[in-house]
Amino acid sequence: MKKNLLISVLFTLLTTVMFGVLYPLGITGLSQLMFRDKANGQLIVKNGSVVGSAIIGQAFTGPGYFYSRPSAAGTGNGYDPTSSGGSNLGPTNKSLVDRVNAQTQQLKGDNPGAPVPIDLVTTSGSGLDPEITPAAAEFQVPRIARERKMSEADVRALVARHTAGRQFGFLGEPRVNVLQLNLDLDQSYPRAH
């Protein structure tokens, strides 16, 4: 019995060191060597300061910026990366229907007559999507052009430059990273303050 207990304790210590210390350190070291940008959150730096991450959405509310997909992650306006998750509200939930209707009416004021893309009024499962569909970006083109005093063709060219296709040509859908698009918009067409 003593021998079995000693073997159990030693095996527990050995596996704890192997899988609780050595394996995580090894994987962390490999990821830092091979995928440094991805391992560190794909942070975007502008003028020496971190302005966001290419893989975590954030709110843009100014009229001269492309709006992100709404977020239900965390409290307040969402976009809390420590509280990723959807609202878990069903399609017939009154508060969800009221919120979507209110956002739809507000967006229709920006681009009357155009159908509002669904991703501009609904949240994702994570609540942190950094991207919108090309249709959602196109819907916002007239507002951006008006606010920035640009031609719609120039705004569309900027959107096209930031539209990523399907991964490997067949996975996912085309998408536009909102943070990168807005940063390029500020750099290419600065707003007069």
- Per-residue pLDDT tens for 11-24? 999 999 999 999 99
**Taking Cα atoms as reference points, which of 112, 122, 129 lies closest to residue 175?**
129
- Prediction pTM value: 0.79
Here the tokens at position 118 are: 């669904």
The yes-or-no verdict on residue 193 having pLDDT over 60 is: no
- Among 34-43, 58-67, 117-126, 129-138, whose mean pLDDT is lowest? 34-43
Q: What was the pLDDT predicted at 71?
A: 86
Provide the pLDDT for residue 86: 73
Domain range list for the chain: 1-40, 41-188
